[in-house]
Structure 1
């Protein structure tokens, strides 16, 4: 059984764009660098050649990884979702119980998470605490810097 990988349609599009870039732009650039380095002669002591071959290996590995993710993608169109219960794709506004500070996060797939941009992974501790809750509920999150309490202020699907 193949495990599906949940992701937003925006995340799916980003993966497709990355694979396109790696196959159509990065791969030819690396092939050219290998060819140019080969022309310099002795490959055993050719640092440019070894660096280009390493870049090729990294690029091909990432292409393989992307193909696997895309093949197992469970694309969820957040724009079609409604309701006030927190689930995958929800944008949730929280108030920190200790500081009163408001934070807003969107719950997304692992590969599209970026906390600095307000996107947190479905498998993160805060997401797991939020799933199934509604506006007005309080949650406790076990974080590396200690337990944190939050109250859910808003749930939107954008």
Structure 2
């Protein structure tokens, strides 16, 4: 029996998925149907590259529509923790060695609403920073086996306009 999966999304990510679904079910679906009809009108379908490309685009679009429907149906809107605390939906600035970078903590599904790099809460670095605070230094084991220290420079609840 498959385990039901809950998708943790910020309101921004949920709204972006909803917009994508509407586009795919409406204008994009109609555009693909028109391409299929135009290619069909050309005659022999066995060697009609345009027809086969349009049917492939249709299959991909319908697959993504089904994926979006499931994710929206099974999603839970998360509220990021207060400023200064790292959790799902937090835009965190980390300093690792001499390098500093901003990351959004959450599932890759959040990438629909941001251009920020995503850190999964289940990744080694994600597990290390979760529930910690600005100014904390955490240690995690990288996939290479090396111990790495990261300092949390800043942690803010994510808002879509931050990444634009």
TM-score by length of 2: 0.81
Deviation at 1:143?
3.5
| Structure 1 residue runs without a partner (length 5+) | none
Answering whether residue 30 of structure 2 is matched by residue 28 of structure 1, we say yes
For residue 128 of structure 1, give the secondary structure of its aligned residue in structure 2.
Answer: helix
Structure 1 counterpart of 2:87: 87
Q: Secondary structure at the match of 1:31?
A: helix
Which stretch of structure 1 is more off in the superposition, 102-111 or 23-32?
102-111
Match 1:17 to one of 16, 19, 31 = 19
Matches within 5 A, 1:47-126: 47-78=49-80, 81-82=81-82, 84-96=84-96, 98-99=97-98, 101-113=99-111, 117-126=116-125
Whether the 8 Å contact between 1:112 and 1:121 is mirrored in structure 2 is no
How many residues of Structure 1 are paired with residues of Structure 2 in the alignment? Answer: 154
Q: Which residue of 1 aligns with 2:161?
A: none
Q: What per-residue deviation string (whole Å, max 9, x for no partner) do you get for residues 11-50 of structure 1?
A: 1011011111111111000000000000011111111111
Stretch deviating more after TM superposition (116-125 or 53-62): 116-125
CA-atom RMSD, angstroms? 2.3
Answer yes or no: is the 8 Å Cα contact 1:15–1:70 preserved in 2.
yes
8 Å contact 2:104–2:116 — kept in the other structure?
A: no
